[in-house]
Copies of this chain bind each other. A is one copy, B any other.
Amino acid sequence: MVQINENYLKLKNRYLFSQIGEKTKSYQKSHPDKNIIRFGIGDATLPLTPAVISAFHKAVDEMSVVSTFKGYGPEQGYEFLRELISKHEFEKRGVNIFSDEVFISDGAKCDTGNILDLFGKNIIGITDPAYPVYVDTNVMAGNTGNLQENDQYEGLIYLQATEENGFCPEPPDRHVDIIYLCSPNNPTGVALSKTQLSAWVTYALNHHSIILFDAAYERYIQNQDIPHSIYEIPQAKKVAIEFRSFSKTAGFTGTRCAFTVIPKELTGRDSSGNETSIWNLWNRRHSTKFNGVSYTVQRAAAAIYTPEGSKEVNELIKYYRYNTELIKSVLKKKGFSFWGGIDSPYIWVKVPQQITSWEFFDYILNNLQIVVTPGIGFGKSGEGFFRITSFGQHEDTMEAIKRIENWEWSF
């Protein structure tokens, strides 16, 4: 009989967002008349912008004619998109990322998982709370032991993001090989300053570590002191991989396009100590286990770098940001403590002391018909908090705010 990958059996039974989805669905089923407002999963609700739609249609038309039809594209992505990214996302911020260091993919979620294919046995450090995919994919890859009683996996180094450290853990005293950082952070909404991020780069340089830097929310940064890319920190190209996405930037959650930067300078070592290019490994993986993103989608993504596209994306961000402000004001009014929501579409809110974050989830779903994300779903240090996203429609957000405002909160 075929031997399965037993690491999968170590996984907690449910993926967080599936669990939220099912609870919501079940509530809706038994309360068909209730209007549920979803602040749970961070999913775009505004449509693709006109420039994107127009480029998308044009590309579909190209696919309808022999002379412009596109079959297999380069697995790494079309040069037109890689060059635009190199220029607009990096060169304009004074960062030198070559177009062949940019790999187009169908999602940052996929890439943050798939990247582990390249690595062997290492000590893994993950901030806690964190996007669940980081932990789960390490479990699947066999980089952890079993789930312990404290609900953490043996062998993983959890870097606690707490109220005390402003949800920005410092580099640890001990050695870690691979470090997951997400800034602006999902779920806490807090972003790392240049000084804070520099400390991590210095740590990685000293320890020959690699930082997996998830910057999917960089478009929401307002503060001048917050780096949009880890490569704004000197020498970061020697120690960091960066994950970016069009999902939260331009509403591509259902359209699927993202990119990952693997600098040519980045190396790991084999067991004999020989330095090996990580770029070579990822390029090999990408061309063997992937076949590129749909040509039409890449053309649609490229449109955000036109003057109109860029303007439209800014409007879109502004729209969500206005939601954030509205939500923050009602939270303040009702006496909730919260963080984030400045350089991020996420607000991290403290749960009233008497209950757990899942209890709060049920409470607010049952009483106010609002879906939030329980902090514990992001890790042990997430207990006592919940996450609210600003990705709703204005009308829904206003309605939710009204419900929050008018509710007599008691536990």
Contact = CB atoms under 8 A, between A and B. Distances in A.
Interface string A91-110: 00000000000000011011
Contact of A71 (B57, B253, B271, B297): B253
Interface in A229-283: 251, 253-256, 267-271, 273, 275-276, 278, 281
Nearest to A257: B294
B72 A46 contact: no
B276 A110 contact: no
Q: Assembly of this chain: how many copies?
A: 2
Nearest to A136: B288
Contacts of A48: 63-64, 69
A289 B117 contact: no
Nearest to A41: B72
Contacts of A69: 44-48, 251, 254
A117 B5 contact: yes
A50 interface: yes
A268 B4 CA distance: 6
Interface in A374-408: 393
A359 interface: no
Given A109-B291, A281-B8, A294-B254, A64 B47 contact: yes
A186 to B, nearest CB: 14
A385 to B, nearest CB: 23
A164 to B, nearest CB: 30
Interface in A102-140: 106-107, 109-110, 113-114, 117-122, 133, 136-137, 140
Contacts of A209: 2
Interface in A269-322: 269-271, 273, 275-276, 278, 281, 284-285, 287-297
B73 A254 contact: yes
Contact of A47 (B46, B57, B63, B287): B63
Interface residues of A, number: 83
A296 to B, nearest CB: 7
Contact of A1 (B15, B208, B253, B296): B208
Interface string A42-72: 0111111010010011001101111001111
A192 interface: no
Contact of A3 (B18, B133, B271): B271
Contact of A256 (B120, B275, B292): B292
B66 A45 contact: yes
B119 A5 contact: yes
A106 to B, nearest CB: 6
A85 interface: no
B254 A15 contact: no
Nearest to A141: B117
A288 B137 contact: yes
Contacts of A64: 47-48, 50, 53
A178 interface: yes
The 5 A-B pairs of least Cβ separation, nearest first, read A113-B289, A43-B71, A1-B208, A3-B120, A4-B268
Given A3-B270, A133-B289, 15 more contacts: A1-B275, A2-B210, A4-B268, A5-B119, A8-B285, A15-B288, A41-B72, A43-B71, A44-B69, A48-B64, A63-B255, A72-B253, A106-B294, A109-B291, A294-B297
23 contacts: A2-B122, A3-B120, A3-B121, A4-B270, A5-B281, A15-B284, A45-B71, A47-B63, A47-B66, A47-B69, A48-B69, A60-B60, A63-B254, A63-B255, A66-B393, A69-B251, A70-B254, A72-B253, A106-B293, A110-B289, A136-B288, A254-B292, A256-B293
